[in-house]
Structure 1
């Protein structure tokens, strides 16, 4: 390594003879070198401390949570830059070391720090095998639309610092609310199987675990300033306390502001965000960590076109940029607000030799509102199953009132996850308990719009009232959920710790009840209880110190997503419900994997084959309430599904400053059942028929995905990377008669580290070019239908045609950022 001159890196690894156990609330991959600047060691070198979370290299893990971990001491001399990069992870940060007995990939600071600072957790993993990230904005600010092995984000368990901060009812992760990418330490992706001890109950499609940077032992900070096209800008600052005396406490607090114009259509985004993390360590692996997050975000959403609208308008379909009376498509009447406060407090204690306790309480508060323009009848409209009289509102045009439909959703979650782990000799016994209580309120209202296009009563704070004084509403939902989960696992290491046998069992109990206080709602109250037994088994064998084979069998469960699955949705323009409760059966998956992994001195390689069978597969779909700009989420029970495929990735450690990476997946997923549809018989009556969907390719499951990356970093001045992603065509209908065409995307990063500047540490300038080909494309189905054409069902009845809507991918963006430590 002498070619790096003063950038000397010496790493000494001492493998412990005993295995330690991953705490039940931790992500499945833990790391062994601190992500923040290192404390000063002898002669100015930096020495890491054992057991510090949030680092940039994944170590051994178990699908069951019993995690044999290496004890490492890393000595570095100026090897880490101010942005947290070390230029040591294979594939330019896309292939950290993995040893878990399952398909598992990840990204580290070596990759994250070189991406656009507007990104989110989902956008950071877009190059990993099997991951399809369907963006709507080149800045990755418009949501988490991803699939893994054909499962979307609502079927994937999201953990941040070991806690599930995603919406526990709709399962949307909203990762842009969780953390600024400048504070993101690492992300680990487990395709297809979750940890047995993870506090999730929807992870049939796998698990995504993210950690924040660990606070530095030195006081200082980091600043990043960004600007780009579409008036994009971001200002970020992080302040580090360093070690506070001899208290063992250190922490950081950061603040950011971000804004931009929408890349298509009027409107834009404004976001304010705060992150904080404090750590207290003492004794033998005892620690208490407190993580706090705050987010205030308002964005004009994008319109999702149908195939016909896309053909006619392309990316030009958008909301109008000026208001005329009666125009419910005016952009200022469409807003999506994502606000949150979250607190996570992981605590780890060594009770006795080989006996460890982990306790993680957490609290999450997420709230809106979301608003959308809608014209409603001035009189004679519907309030539930009733008809209202004259609303007595001003500004009536043609017998209709232009309003904003306000959805002030409000959700609070309090929970605690615990585990107790006992290691004796070559055996580790783990047990744990998770309890969660969630409350969700969602009472829609309407606010009249004045002739200037401004809501006349403060976005429905007071609302429009019908005769009798009740607020006009389409739904008034109150929802409660309790989760109790128990797990027990055992891990045995044999043959000089080369053979690892793990087995475990988890029992998840979900209790839900909800009411809809709208006249005529049927049912008014819904109560459902779910119980799922979840056994897991894994076998791993280390052929050499660099080569590993594994096989596992896992199970997973997911209760139906969205409160709309339990309640009717009404609208003033429709007599009767516009949306009926969906299937309330839980989704259950049984999966198997076999894989090979090589963690060499230069080359890292992973290959795996997988099979999964699902019952009551819940396909998440969104659709506009007819005649409105209000989107609702509804699960579709697609019955059984069979998923089979192979995936792999290859990455090289820096070789002559270059780090190539390639990943690919072939996926064959089919529907196992003929699906029921609404139809009309010869007598003109509405009946239920079936369409021959059995054996068809499952929706939103591209057969082939691939990624190629090349990173360069001379570890002194110049750095950059290039990535290219290919997504093959994917169906939007169960009958496979309308689809999203295949597309290719590519991004480039170019950067330069400035020479020494007084009082600054590692200043750099970075250029991110996103979608350099400026491809205009549909990125994924936003809604799913059975068939895009009218057909004759299996029983001879005529079925209706559906019209899927689509997400539109973001176009070209150029972003320049200047950052430095201090």
Structure 2
């Protein structure tokens, strides 16, 4: 093992670097995202899990050259976190990011984030160049994408997406994650973890190494993770497979093939409380361990299954000295189902928009069902959703002298099906099988449902970008234009749905401009002006949802697409000490808020899209980090945000006076402190984060208080022992103060307190629901290469 004591002080420079420090090369990404990178050589260390101890800020501040606000995370940080941590939680210390960690392991479906006050559904998410978010609802379950042992790096752009990125929802920036590349040497890596709440993980990866002289190498890995829920009864399991293959030849030609499969189960656990429920019950507001008739909170009735298949094939071809072709075809399948408990009426309930069991109804009462009590039966609501996406993103880049021209096309097709079903539950809380009752049907064999959905989406985007370098490559100017075209069509085939079918087409012009000046290889200023848009969020924006108890629960609205214009100016210094500061302005029209709520009398959540009108966000962010110095790497980040609503909100035929109110989910101050120690044998990592209070209603009459969380890592690396290469033991402590807190709003409402509108209407209040922060967790992991 090479000790980290070789990595003292300022960077060691190669002779090539010493002869021409201002020479900068472009790497990694085509088009507007191409980032110049200094050619440097750092003395590091050899470990089995990819830690080199060369990244500033303990792995939270890699060198960035993009002409925009941009942060990153490398293996130096990733490998020292809990082996089960999600991508969302790995970004929690970066400026502008607020991560809602609802599960100590990072496996819970509720883990989500905001960035500069915009939700995860407004942030583009790329994995190896493919968008991982649901292209209709924009949700992404980051725990299903990749094992943290295989995650190589992440780049977080807080303000704007790449022009050539295959995204239509990136109003608030983008996140790009990359898997590690297969080793040139045959071998592997294994990791075993255990901890609180009976948590355990087993991971193994095998590298083929270079296969003869074929230029091909690859790896395959498998993992299993399980634990009891940290809140309430129940448990969670995850099975995951990663595989990556690389073929390289000639002058920069490459083809990569990435495959991933996930099957994840979450049973029971904590519910999302209102503020009054949180004050009354705290962490004990959960599903129940004992069944009683009519109680939908019995934990065995609340389940979620997330399955994902990922196939991504990034290809890069150098056609000539000046011409390059990039193509990334990908296929993504995501499917459920999800379950929730609900008692439904035998007669007088709704099948779509039609009541059953009433005089003149074409659907008779469900009087043949057993296990009735007081005119109701207990059911498990099942939502077996399935979505398939096939796409390709291609670009051609021509570089001539100091000018680079990029032209590209992105095409995507998505199909989504979803059909609520109701399975009968007996008096002991078990699903009733047989009798033709699973799912519950009417005598004409029609399945009782509130949502029988078929949805299609086609996307086309053409983009053109031009970059020119002047003044000995110190000044770089880039301009680009994307024409995004989206076509959507959806049906809800339950009786009486209005509308039962809806189709929309969108065309949005998206110009971008960047300028950056490099004073020298270590100092850079930049400014940019960018645009982005997001088609209306969720299928509920097009066709309605129904429920047997409530009838209509989500009416289709004529929502307009969200459009964003943003500007930034910033300065960046890189070297032994690293500093990045930027100021930003963001204007949104037709702000689509992805709210949600429980179906009345159920534990199943339904989307409730809201058009909140215009929003203006201004602020500044900064981060500072040192490269390892005497084995220590500190990191600091912070953001100030002032975000306000630009319009009064229309509700109940009246207007609420929301103009000038603070935007929901926009904490004024956020910050993080990190400190890492690593001498090659002993290592440790400490991170503390502060999140200011956040309003959760448009009227600013309800909020969650500020909170602080902190995590600690302690570990020891050993010398290689036989085939075991650099084995290590690591202890991770999360939320070490066991702070009980509300992490983020789970929904948004107009007002929590009854308020009189501008025209005199009394508008009843409705409290949002909240995501509860994860409690303390302790985990020990043992890993080694072989």
Calculate the TM-score normalised by the size of structure 2: 0.95
The verdict on how the C-alpha distance between 1:310 and 1:272 changes in structure 2, with shifts beyond 3 A counting, is same
Is residue 371 of structure 2 the alignment partner of residue 366 of structure 1? Answer: no
Asked if 1:324 corresponds to 2:299, the answer is: no
Equivalent residues of 1:406, 1:459 under 8 A apart: no
The match for 2:646 is: 672
Listed as ranges, the gaps of 5+ residues in structure 1 are: 25-61, 679-687
* Distance across 1 between alignment mates of 2:593 and 2:108: 21
Deviation at 1:356, TM superposition (A): 0.3
Residue aligning to 1:536: 512
Aligned counterpart for 2:152 among listed residues 185, 190, 197: 185
* Structure 1 position 328, deviation (Å): 2.0
Partner residue in 1 for 2:360: none
C-alpha separation in 1, matches of 2:586 and 2:293:
54
Query: Which whole-Å CA distance do the structure 2 matches of 1:337 and 1:122 have between them?
Result: 19
- Alignment partners' CA distance in 1, 2:688 and 2:42: 35
Match of 1:435 among 405, 411, 416: 411
Residue 698 of structure 2: which of 724, 728, 734 is its match? 734
Question: CA-to-partner distance for each residue in 1:566-587, whole Å, 9 max, x for gaps?
Answer: 111111112x411111342000
Q: Contact 2:514–2:527 (CA<8 Å) still a contact in 1?
A: yes
- 1:232 is the counterpart of 2:199: yes
In structure 2, the partner of 1:279 is: 246
Q: CA deviation at 1:141?
A: 1.3
Can you list the C-alpha shifts for 1:482-540, whole angstroms capped at 9, x where unaligned? 00000000000000000000000001000000000010001011000111100000110
* 1:709 aligned onto 2:684: no
Flag the 1:481–1:464 CA change in 2: closer, same or farther, 3 A.
Answer: same
Counterparts of 1:761 and 1:458, CA distance in 2: 56
Task: Give CA-to-partner distance per residue, 1:147-167, whole Å, 9 cap, x none.
Answer: 001111100000000110221
The correspondence for 1:195, drawn from 162, 170, 173, is 162
- Report the counterpart of residue 79 of structure 2 in structure 1: 113
1:10, 1:731 → 2: CA distance?
Answer: 48
Indicate which of 546, 553, 556 corresponds to 1:578: 553
Q: Distance in 1 between matches of 2:436 and 2:224?
A: 27
Q: What is the CA–CA distance in structure 2 between the aligned matches of 1:67 and 1:130, rounded to whole Å?
A: 21
Structure 2 residue 234 is matched with structure 1 residue 259: no
Quote the Cα distance in structure 1 between the aligned partners of 2:214 and 2:3: 41
- Give the match for residue 44 of structure 1: none
Deviation at residue 619 of structure 1 after TM alignment: 1.3
1:599 to 2:599 alignment: no
Please say if residues 649 and 663 of structure 1, whose CA atoms lie closer than 8 Å, have aligned partners that are also in contact: yes
User: What's the offset of the Cα at 1:807?
Assistant: 0.6
Q: Deviations over 1:582-609 (max 9, x none)?
A: 3420000000000000002x10000000
The aligned residue for residue 813 of structure 1 is: 777
Residue 3 of structure 1 deviates from its aligned partner by 8.3
Cα separation, 2, equivalents of 1:583 and 1:135: 34
Q: Distance in 1 between matches of 2:155 and 2:749?
A: 33
Aligned pair partner of 1:342 in 291, 310, 316: 310
Structure 1 residue aligned with 2:613, among 624, 632, 639? 639
Q: How does 1:422-571 map to 2 (within 5 A)?
A: 422-457=398-433, 462-571=438-547
Secondary structure of the residue aligned to 2:95 is coil
Q: Report the Cα offset of residue 68 of structure 1.
A: 4.1
Q: Separation in 2 of the partners of 1:460 and 1:414?
A: 36
The 1:693–1:651 alpha-carbon spacing in structure 2 relative to 1, beyond 3 Å, is same
Are 1:789 and 2:750 counterparts? Answer: no
Distance 1:488 1:461, change over 3 A: farther
Aligned-partner Cα distance in 1 for 2:251–2:413: 33
Query: Displacement, 1:197?
Result: 0.6
- Indicate if the aligned counterparts of 2:24 and 2:38 stay in contact, CA closer than 8 A: no
Kindly indicate whether residue 750 of structure 2 is the aligned counterpart of residue 776 of structure 1: no
- After TM superposition, the structure 1 = structure 2 runs for residues 410-429 of structure 1, keeping only pairs within 5 Å, are 410-429=386-405
Q: Which residue of 1 aligns with 2:235?
A: 268
User: d(CA) in 2 for partners of 1:281 and 1:124?
Assistant: 30
How far apart in 2 are the matches of 1:514 and 1:326? Answer: 34
Whether the aligned pair in 2 keeps the contact of 1:593 and 1:609 (CA below 8 Å) is yes
Deviations 1:69-88 (A, max 9, x none): 5567x597x82211100000
Shift of 1:739: 0.2
Query: Mean Cα displacement is larger for which, 627-636 or 482-491?
Result: 627-636
Preserved CA contact (<8 Å) 1:23 1:419:
no
1:662 matches 2:630 = no
Q: Distance in 2 between matches of 1:411 and 1:372?
A: 20
Q: Distance in 1 between matches of 2:177 and 2:720?
A: 33
The one of 682, 690, 698 equivalent to 2:663 is 698
| 1:136 matched residue in structure 2 | 102
Larger CA deviation: 380-389 vs 623-632: 380-389
Q: Distance in 2 between matches of 1:412 and 1:459?
A: 33
* Kept in 2: contact 1:583–1:636 (CA 8 A): no
Cα distance change, pair 131–20 in 1 and its aligned pair in 2 (3 A): closer
SS class of match (2:279): helix
Aligned to 1:54: none
Corresponding position: 1:376 with 2:344? yes
The residue number in structure 2 matching 1:357 is: 325
SS at match of 1:92: helix
Aligned partners of 1:460, 1:545: CA distance in 2, in Å?
72
Please say if 1:98 is aligned against 2:74: no
Instruction: Work out the CA distance in 1 between the residues paired with 2:168 and 2:200.
Output: 37
Q: Report if aligned partners of 2:5, 2:679 keep a CA contact under 8 Å in 1.
A: no
What secondary structure sits across from 1:543 in the alignment?
Answer: strand
Aligned to 1:250: 217
TM-score, length basis structure 1: 0.91
Equivalent residue number for residue 623 of structure 1: 597
Q: What is the deviation of 1:452? A: 2.6
Equivalence for 1:682: none
Q: SS of the residue aligned with 2:276?
A: helix
- The structure, 1 or 2, with the larger RCO (C-alpha pairs under 8 Å, 6+ apart) is 2
Distance in 1 separating the partners of 2:481 and 2:534? 16
CA RMSD in angstroms comes to 1.8
Aligned-partner Cα distance in 1 for 2:725–2:25:
38
Pairwise CA distance, 1:327: 2.5
- Per the alignment, do residues 773 and 481 of structure 1 end up closer, same or farther by CA in structure 2, a change over 3 Å counting? same
Q: Distance in 2 between matches of 1:605 and 1:360?
A: 34
Equivalent residue number for residue 715 of structure 2: 751
Which stretch shifts more, 231-240 or 557-566?
A: 557-566
Q: What residue is the counterpart of 1:719 in the other structure? A: 683
Once residues 244 and 322 of structure 1 are traced to their aligned partners in structure 2, the CA distance between those partners, rounded to angstroms, is: 56
Aligned to 1:36: none
Q: Tell me by how many angstroms 1:800 deviates.
A: 1.0
Shift of 1:797: 1.2
CA contact (8 A) 1:583 1:635 kept: no
What CA distance in whole angstroms lies between the structure 2 residues aligned with 1:103 and 1:134?
22
Q: Distance in 1 between matches of 2:61 and 2:251?
A: 31
Unaligned runs of 5+ in 2: 357-363
Superposed CA deviations along residues 355-402 of structure 1, whole A, max 9, x for unmatched, are 000111000000000000000012221111222233221111221111
Asked if structure 2 preserves the Cα contact closer than 8 Å seen for 1:305 and 1:807, the reply is yes
C-alpha deviation, 1:19, in angstroms: 5.4
Q: What is the match of residue 211 of structure 1? A: 178
